[in-house]
Structure 1
C-alpha cells in the first residue's frame, strides 16, 4: 500500500514563467515518494525547473528541485525518515540508510540546490541552523523566509495562509 500525502501540512510547487514566479499547490493524492513528486514537478513549465516546498507535520520539511532529468533535494531532518514515508524516500533517493542509533536531527542532501536561484549553500545552511536553534520557529515560517529570499514570499504566504508580519509604524 502506498502512503498518500496525508501527513503533509502543505506541498507547494514554485516555478518561473517569463521571469515571474508562480506558486501552485501539489495535489494531496500524490504518492508519498520522491519519484512521483519529481514527476509532478516535471510537468510544470519553468525556465529553471520547479521547486517543491513540503512541510511534514510541522516538524520537518523537504525541498525538492527538478531541472530536466536532474532531481536534487534537501531534507531538514534525517530522523524524519523514522516517521514519514516521504522522508524515507528522500533518504533512499540520496543513497543513505538511517541507522537505528541516529538520533541527531541533522539535515541531509544538497545545500546548493537553490544557489543559482539566489540562495547560496551558506545561506540555506544558516536558515537550517536557525530552525534547529529556535524552538519557536515553525516549518511554515522557515519556508516562508526561504520563499521570500527566492522572490516568491508573498505568493507562498497567500497559498499557505500566512499573515504578513506587521510593519513598524
Structure 2
C-alpha cells in the first residue's frame, strides 16, 4: 500500500469572519481519515472546515468537519486496494474493501457532505461523472462553487480558469 508520499496536495479551507481561508496541510495530517479530521478541527472555521486531498492524479478525498462530526467522500472506492488514505476512508465509512478485481471506479461516502456550503449531492455527482476532470481540476471546481476557488488554486499551484 502506498502512503502519504504520493499525495499531490492536501489543503484545509475554512471561513473566518465570512472570509474563506485556505491552508496547506502537511503529510503528517493525511496518514488516515481520523488524523485528517483531527487536523481540520484545529481550524477556527465559522461552520467547520473542509479538507481536500488529491492523490497521485488518481483520486481525491473530501472531509468536511463540523464540531465532532466528520463526513467523508472518496472519489474512487477502488483506490482502497492500493492507497492507505483511501483504505482509511473506506474503513471510516464502514464499507467493505473492494476486491482487486473491482476496477469500476465509483465514489464512496456522502455526496451531500457539502450541501450546507452550496454544492449539492447532484452537482457533486455530475462532477464525479465527468471523465475529463483530473482530481485537482475537480477539487478546484468544487472550491470555486463553494467560494474559495482562487485561493485554492493559488495554494495548490493551479492556474485559475
1:139 aligned partner: 135
- In the alignment, which residue of structure 2 is the partner of 1:60? 59
Q: Give me the whole-angstrom Cα distance separating, in 1, the residues matched to 2:30 and 2:156.
A: 21
Q: Identify unmatched segments of 5+ residues in structure 2.
A: none
Displacement after TM superposition at 1:52 (Å): 0.4
Question: TM-score if structure 2 supplies the norm length?
Answer: 0.94
Looking at structure 2, the residues matched to 152 and 99 of structure 1 have their Cα atoms a distance apart, in angstroms, of 34
8 A contact 2:54–2:136 mirrored in 1: yes
Q: How many residues align?
A: 159
Distance 1:145 1:85 in 2: 25
- TM-score of the two chains, using structure 1 as the length reference: 0.90
Q: What RMSD in Å do the two structures reach over aligned CA positions?
A: 1.2
The corresponding residue for 1:103 is 103
Residue pair 1:17, 1:47 contacting (<8 A) in 2 also:
yes
Match of 1:26 in 2: 25
Please state whether the residue corresponding to 2:27 is helix, strand or coil.
coil
On the 8 A contact 2:78/2:104 being kept in 1, the answer is yes
Q: Secondary structure at the match of 2:160?
A: coil
1:121 matched residue in structure 2: 121
CA contact (8 A) 1:48 1:67 kept: yes
**Counterpart-to-counterpart distance in 1, 2:134 and 2:95:** 26
Measured in 2, the distance between the counterparts of 1:50 and 1:60 equals 20
